[in-house]
């Protein structure tokens, strides 16, 4: 199959491109290379026979430069930082919303089935903050006792404290961050195009994705950043909730296996939505991440604490994957322990390059 990956020189897109090429697909990557580190993936892409086109999804003329015969489209293009949207909202909305409309138009005109990478940030922050929670020794937890004491008619749809947040959680009537807004516009556009034009299309609302090859920083790829900072003993800070805020982690290998399944089943979908993440089993707090890394590295890292909470942040989130398991026969297989071992092995193998990048 002839596959186009937009945003394909980045962390996720480049791994997908290589993996699909190894499965005998012909892959074209289009990327504007504005994200730091993307350019370093070009040599690897070329080595695996991936065709690279320097282009921007916001520019319709860049699509005219693509080779003919594209049969499938995977859209990974995005500005991924939650924080930066508050300083430049137009940039987020232009990149993450208008760009997706251009991608959808290409897919519509060429009748390309499509996989779209959305985010759990489309869900309302204020509604998530209302969910009952409690503080444990190393993490914030959702409180099942308080939840079960609520009258059933008052419980928000799309949530339970054991499995987490599902596709039915609220997206209307509250705040989600500028980044979340930009992705919701794109997400809703994909749903509308799929139904209006009978387009085979699936929408993946991912949580935290981590893995080797990610040139991370605090607001983009915190899991790998946490590992890099501990490895090189860089200064770290818990910002809000005393480091007990919790996220679930989905490792790159599981993302790739998911997309391969969806490519094979795409004719079944018309704008179907899946919440996809590491789930409760792959959830951890910053404090737990620190303990795990200190145990693997054999040294302690000095960490300061800032009590103020960053705008748009959450004390706890993990993903209810059950729809993906039911309809795709998919679930994460890479554990936290395995995932961190692979990340640390990658850091060791690239120590000189990473030291220069992160310590100067």
CB contact set of 6 (below 8 Å; sequence gap of 6+)? 13, 30, 31, 57, 73, 74, 75, 76, 77, 103
Backbone phi, then psi, for 11, in 5-degree steps? -55, -55
Range scoring the smallest mean pLDDT among 156-160, 195-199, 222-226, 309-313? 309-313
Q: How far apart are CA 248 and CA 269, in angstroms?
A: 26
In this prediction, residue 218 has a pLDDT band, given cuts at 50, 70 and 90, of: low
**Is 196 within the bounds of a domain?**
yes
Q: How far apart are CA 236 and CA 241, in angstroms?
A: 15
Chain mean position to CA 132: 25
CB contact set of 167 (below 8 Å; sequence gap of 6+)? 158, 205, 273, 274, 275, 323
The pLDDT value given to residue 121: 93
**Is 55 within the bounds of a domain?**
no
| pLDDT higher than 80, residue 37 | no
Q: How far apart are CA 233 and CA 230, in angstroms?
A: 5
| Burial category of 296 from C-beta neighbours within 10 Å (exposed 0-12, middle 13-18, buried 19 and up) | middle
Total structural domains in the chain? Answer: 1
91 or 97: which carries more pLDDT confidence? Answer: 97
In this prediction, residue 220 has a pLDDT band, given cuts at 50, 70 and 90, of: low
Q: Are 311 and 124 a contacting pair, CB within 8 Å?
A: no
Domain that holds residue 254: 78-359
**Is 56 within the bounds of a domain?**
no
**Is 39 within the bounds of a domain?**
no
Structure pTM? 0.94
- Residues 152-193 have pLDDT tens digits of 999 999 999 999 999 999 999 888 888 899 999 999 999 999
Report in angstroms the alpha-carbon separations of 106 from 33, 57, 92, 101, 235: 20, 10, 21, 9, 45
Q: What angle do CA 301, 303, 309 make, to 5 degrees?
A: 150
**Is 44 within the bounds of a domain?**
no
**Is 114 within the bounds of a domain?**
yes
Backbone phi, then psi, for 274, in 5-degree steps? -130, 130
CB contact set of 235 (below 8 Å; sequence gap of 6+)? 229, 302, 304
| Torsion sign, CA atoms 220, 226, 228, 229 | positive
The pLDDT value given to residue 183: 92
**Is 5 within the bounds of a domain?**
no
CATH code of the domain containing 338: 3.40.50.720
Average pLDDT, the chain: 93
**Is 183 within the bounds of a domain?**
yes
């Amino acid at each position: 199959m002839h596959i186009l990956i937009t945003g394909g020189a980045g962390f996720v897109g480049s791994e997908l491109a290589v993996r699909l090429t190894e499965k005998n697909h012909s892959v074209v990557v289009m990327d504007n290379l504005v994200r730091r580190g993307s350019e370093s993936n070009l040599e690897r892409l070329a080595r695996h026979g991936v065709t690279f086109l320097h282009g921007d999804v916001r520019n319709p003329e860049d699509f005219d430069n693509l080779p003919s015969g594209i049969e499938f489209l995977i859209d990974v293009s995005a500005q991924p930082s939650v924080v930066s949207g508050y300083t430049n909202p137009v940039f987020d909305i232009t990149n993450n919303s208008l760009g997706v409309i251009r991608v959808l138009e290409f897919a519509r005109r060429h009748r390309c089935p499509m996989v779209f990478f959305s985010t759990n940030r489309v869900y309302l922050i204020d509604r998530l903050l209302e969910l009952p929670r409690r503080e444990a020794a190393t993490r914030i937890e959702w409180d099942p006792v308080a939840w079960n004491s609520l009258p059933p008619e008052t419980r928000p749809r799309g949530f339970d404290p054991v499995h987490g947040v599902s596709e039915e959680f609220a997206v209307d009537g509250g705040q989600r961050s500028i980044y979340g807004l930009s992705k919701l516009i794109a997400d809703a556009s994909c749903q509308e195009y799929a139904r209006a034009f009978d387009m085979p299309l699936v929408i993946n609302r991912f949580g935290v994705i981590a893995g080797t090859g990610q040139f991370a920083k605090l607001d983009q790829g915190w899991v790998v950043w946490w590992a890099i900072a501990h490895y090189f003993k860089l200064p770290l800070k818990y910002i809000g909730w005393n480091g007990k805020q919790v996220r679930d982690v989905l490792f790159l290998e599981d993302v790739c296996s998911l997309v391969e399944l969806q490519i094979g089943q795409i004719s079944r979908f018309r704008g179907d939505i899946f919440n996809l993440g590491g789930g409760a089993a792959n959830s951890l707090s910053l404090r737990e991440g620190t303990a795990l890394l200190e145990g693997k590295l054999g040294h302690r890292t000095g960490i300061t604490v800032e009590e103020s909470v960053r705008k748009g942040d959450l004390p706890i989130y993990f993903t209810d994957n059950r729809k993906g398991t039911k309809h795709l026969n998919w679930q994460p297989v890479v554990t936290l322990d395995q995932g961190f071992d692979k990340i640390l092995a990658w850091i060791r193998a690239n120590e000189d390059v990473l030291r220069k990048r992160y310590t100067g």
